[in-house]
């Protein structure tokens, strides 16, 4: 199979690592995802990953906690996930580098754009941790920002649901799957593809977002090879 893209960002939600438990890191799940990311990297695609932290901590769960503090706690959660993912990926035999937006140099490299790009050119997978390093910004926004910075052609947004629907498929059995959307449609209809900051950044920089389900980890390779699964958001 020939890949359609040269350099991509994979946005993995923290929940994707939790498996059916819904919390924490499930060893079997992270292993399975890592093997599929390895397969994808062996297609010759340069892969950077932005990982969320919702399986450990969500800013919005922090009732009574100052929003900025809750967000910093979430950024630390993404570092825990990034280290787990680095370890699982390394066990598959690929080279991985973690870079953090918040300096914690005993744990990982700091985020340096040109170094990240050099790692990718050398075939290493780069995991971006601790979001943008700023409260009030999501890891979806991080994916959009890093994609623009490192010239990624697309954001592959791996979710629990296999595509974007016109209503919540868990609540409405007649919910219709949407194949294509424009950025403006996502914003106007308030669809939960990404938050509005992230979608706006993608729109301004013309970065397509491909939403697909990780229920089958094979899907990572399929979308990289241009198979029409999930939903594409573009101009």
The Cβ of residue 228 has, within 10 Å, a number of other Cβ atoms equal to 11
| Three-state secondary-structure class, residue 202 | helix
The Cβ of residue 1 has, within 10 Å, a number of other Cβ atoms equal to 11
Q: Is residue 114 near ligand GTP by the rule CB under 6 A? A: no
**CA-CA distance, 2 to 25, in Å (whole number)?**
32
Q: Is residue 235 near ligand GTP by the rule CB under 6 A? A: no
Nearer to ligand GTP, 129 or 158 (CB): 129
Please choose, out of 17-25, 62-70, 106-114, 138-146, the segment that lies near ligand GTP by the rule CB under 6 A: 106-114
Nearer to ligand GTP, 20 or 106 (CB): 106
Smallest gap from Cβ 50 to ligand GTP, in A, equals 17
* # binding residues, ligand GTP (CB under 6 A): 8
Q: Is residue 107 near ligand GTP by the rule CB under 6 A? A: yes
Token output for 46: 């340069």
DSSP assigned state of 176: P
Smallest gap from Cβ 117 to ligand GTP, in A, equals 11
Looking at 108, 155, 198, 211, which residue binds ligand GTP (CB under 6 A)? 108
x/- contact string, 140-179, with ligand GTP (CB under 6 A)?
Answer: ----------------------------------------
Q: Are strands 231-234 and 177-178 parallel, antiparallel or unpaired?
A: unpaired
Phi first, then psi, for residue 140 (nearest 5°) are -65, -45
**Burial class of residue 39, CB neighbours in 10 A (0-12, 13-18, 19+):** middle
Binding site residues, ligand GTP, CB under 6 A:
97, 105-110, 122
């Amino acid at each position: 199979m020939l890949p359609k893209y040269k350099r991509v960002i994979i946005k993995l939600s923290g929940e994707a690592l939790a498996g059916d438990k819904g919390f924490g890191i499930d060893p079997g799940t992270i292993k399975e995802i890592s093997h599929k990311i390895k397969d994808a990297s062996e297609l010759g695609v340069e892969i950077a990953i932005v990982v969320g932290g919702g399986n450990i901590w969500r800013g919005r769960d922090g009732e009574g906690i100052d929003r900025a503090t809750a967000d910093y706690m979430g950024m630390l959660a993404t570092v825990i996930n990034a280290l787990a993912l680095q370890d699982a990926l390394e066990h598959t035999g690929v080279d991985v580098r973690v870079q953090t937006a918040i300096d914690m140099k005993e744990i990982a490299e700091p985020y340096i754009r040109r170094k990240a790009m050099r790692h990718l050119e050398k075939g290493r997978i780069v995991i971006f941790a601790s979001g943008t390093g700023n409260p009030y910004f999501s890891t979806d926004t991080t994916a959009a920002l890093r994609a623009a910075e490192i010239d990624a052609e697309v954001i592959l947004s791996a979710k629990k649901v296999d595509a974007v629907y016109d209503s919540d498929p868990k609540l409405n059995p007649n919910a219709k799957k949407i194949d294509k959307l424009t950025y403006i449609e996502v914003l106007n209809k308030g669809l939960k593809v990404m938050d509005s900051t992230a979608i706006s950044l993608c729109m301004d920089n013309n970065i397509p977002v491909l939403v697909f389900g990780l229920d089958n980890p094979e899907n990572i390779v399929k979308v990289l090879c241009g198979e029409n699964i999930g939903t594409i958001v573009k101009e």
